[in-house]
Structure 1
Amino acid sequence: MLSFTRHAGHRADHISFTPETLVIAGWAGRDEAAIQHHIEELAAIGVPPPSSVPVFYRGAAQLLTQAPKVEVLGPDSSGEIEPVIVSLADGLWVTVGSDHTDRKAETVGIALSKQLCVKPLANVLWRLDEVAAHWDELFLRAHAVIGGERVVYQEGKLAALRQPGDLIQRWTGKETLAPATVMFGGTLGAIGGIRPAARFEMELIDPVLHRSISHAYDIADLPVIS
């Protein structure tokens, strides 16, 4: 069960629902050079290139979490900030999330790695219609605490990523998502390379309507026992 505060115009309400479908869009950038950069940074840690661009991975809907702390197996996972589209009975909404991924498992199989870690989400939604006209101006910024130091890990405008309508059309062949579907919309390159952290902080900033959505979570590494 996920719970959100929804903002539409000057109104706000609260909603809880159980997601039924999780889809994660990979290599969803518009800039071919940026896509190649992300492929190369993953290749540097042993991850094979995608079968198509973009590509859509499925994950168990139960992986979605809004907890302030997540547990992962071993020290080889990392966060990945993404815009997230949430389909409810009354339309499409947007928030921010992290496609937290086991990077060691990713060298074996990307779909497998997506399934091994929970996917943190913020607890605030904006109606997609309210930001669609200035979608490209929305800004993602992630900080990570690495070795005790808080650093900027990812940042950039959503102009670097495919728009929601494009991804939805490519995945479903339609203009919308079925209710209770959550779609992660792609990520930006990691500044300084992909690496694990003790804490991941993410923010989606709307400079036009002067608001932001943020979420942070701590990462606890569980021991790997053979």
Structure 2
Amino acid sequence: MSTPLLFACESALDNAVPRTEVRAVSPRQFIIAGWTGRDSAAIAHHIHELELLGVPAPSSVPLFYRASASLLTQAPQIETLGEDSSGEAEPLLFRADGEWWLTVTSDHTDRKVETYSVAVSKQMCPKPIAAAAWRWSEVAPYQDELQLRSRIFEGGQWVDYQQGTLSSIRPLASLCADSPLGLGAAEGCFLSCGTLGAIHNAQGVGIRPAAQMEIELRDPRRQRSIVHRYQVQTLPVVA
């Protein structure tokens, strides 16, 4: 069993004053949903930017990749082999105490390995995950308003890397239903729900590595955010 993750879970049932309780959740199953864009043009854009890196187009959309639950980490630093990996912010649903909770994660991926196997690349890097969560049933009615954002430390400053709303991603409940987990998943199931395209830099490069990344899920209706920042330590590739 994986090491338990601690989440500050915020809820406000029946419009009560928000209450936060710490829950320890041991990840038992982890699935990463890919190609989850709601807009066919957005999917085509993401496929294209990955094809520029040599990543083959998916056989169908969406796809659900199995990954080791032990990859999930709340550590402020991860280690990756070589310098060909990069992160991407994703909303993530996990099952605890018989219900779904929403947080934000980074599907940090080895882009070199991704050129020959997306499934293998998903297994190559730790997956940073925030330490706070919201009760899914409370935000599901207005999920399209939730904002997803990431920034990377580049050129000595923080720059926007991804920005948009969950309206660009398929409804998360439908992803749960279509995934191998199902809506009534067991305790400790985690589903990463897809991402947004990268914002190109001045050189026209979209997906790119960075030594630091910040991921954020913002709820403008309730004026709150879940933020997680992590550093990337690259290890030398020894042949």
Shorter-chain TM-score: what band? over 0.9
User: What's the secondary structure of 2:23's corresponding residue?
Assistant: strand
Matched ranges for 1:143-162 at <5 A: 143-162=151-170
Q: Is the 8 A contact 1:147 1:197 kept in 2?
A: no
% identical aligned pairs: 50
* Match for residue 198 of structure 1 among 196, 211, 219: 211
Alignment-mate amino acid for residue 73 of structure 1: L
Q: Does 1:137 align with 2:145?
A: yes
* Match for residue 11 of structure 2 among 8, 12, 37: 8
Q: Which residue of 1 aligns with 2:30?
A: 22
- C-alpha separation between the residues in 2 aligned to 1:149 and 1:45? 25
Deviation of 1:51 after TM superposition, in Å, equals 1.4
Matched ranges for 1:73-112 at <5 A: 73-112=81-120
Deviation of 1:174 after TM superposition, in Å, equals 4.1
Measured at CA, do residues 33 and 206 of structure 1 come closer, stay the same or move farther in structure 2, by a change above 3 Å? same
Measured at CA, do residues 173 and 85 of structure 1 come closer, stay the same or move farther in structure 2, by a change above 3 Å? closer
Q: Which residue of 2 aligns with 1:188?
A: 196
Measured at CA, do residues 173 and 3 of structure 1 come closer, stay the same or move farther in structure 2, by a change above 3 Å? closer
- C-alpha separation between the residues in 2 aligned to 1:147 and 1:79? 17
Deviation of 1:152 after TM superposition, in Å, equals 0.3
Alignment-mate amino acid for residue 209 of structure 1: R
User: What's the secondary structure of 1:116's corresponding residue?
Assistant: coil
Q: Is the 8 A contact 1:92 1:127 kept in 2?
A: yes
Q: Does 1:65 align with 2:65?
A: no
- C-alpha separation between the residues in 2 aligned to 1:76 and 1:174? 33
- C-alpha separation between the residues in 2 aligned to 1:173 and 1:191? 32
Alignment-mate amino acid for residue 91 of structure 2: P
- C-alpha separation between the residues in 2 aligned to 1:31 and 1:44? 20
Q: Which residue of 1 aligns with 2:230?
A: 217
User: What's the secondary structure of 1:168's corresponding residue?
Assistant: helix
Count of matched residue positions in the alignment of Structure 1 and Structure 2: 226
RMSD over aligned Cα atoms: 1.0
Q: Deviations over 1:45-77 (max 9, x none)?
A: 000011110000010000000000001000000
Deviation of 1:147 after TM superposition, in Å, equals 3.6
Q: Which residue of 2 aligns with 1:121?
A: 129
Q: Is the 8 A contact 2:143 2:167 kept in 1?
A: yes
- Runs of 5+ consecutive residues of structure 2 not aligned to the other structure: 13-17, 201-205
Alignment-mate amino acid for residue 38 of structure 2: R
TM-score by length of 1: 0.98
Q: Which residue of 2 aligns with 1:207?
A: 220
Q: Is the 8 A contact 1:64 1:118 kept in 2?
A: yes
Kindly report structure 1 stretches of 4+ aligned residues shifted beyond 4 Å: none
- C-alpha separation between the residues in 2 aligned to 1:105 and 1:158? 28
Q: Is the 8 A contact 2:214 2:229 kept in 1?
A: yes
Alignment-mate amino acid for residue 226 of structure 2: I
User: What's the secondary structure of 1:220's corresponding residue?
Assistant: strand
* Match for residue 176 of structure 2 among 149, 156, 168: 168
TM-score by length of 2: 0.92
Q: Is the 8 A contact 2:181 2:189 kept in 1?
A: no
Q: Is the 8 A contact 1:146 1:196 kept in 2?
A: no
Deviation of 1:205 after TM superposition, in Å, equals 0.3
Q: Deviations over 1:73-102 (max 9, x none)?
A: 000000010000011123000000000000
- C-alpha separation between the residues in 2 aligned to 1:77 and 1:11? 37
Q: Is the 8 A contact 1:165 1:176 kept in 2?
A: no
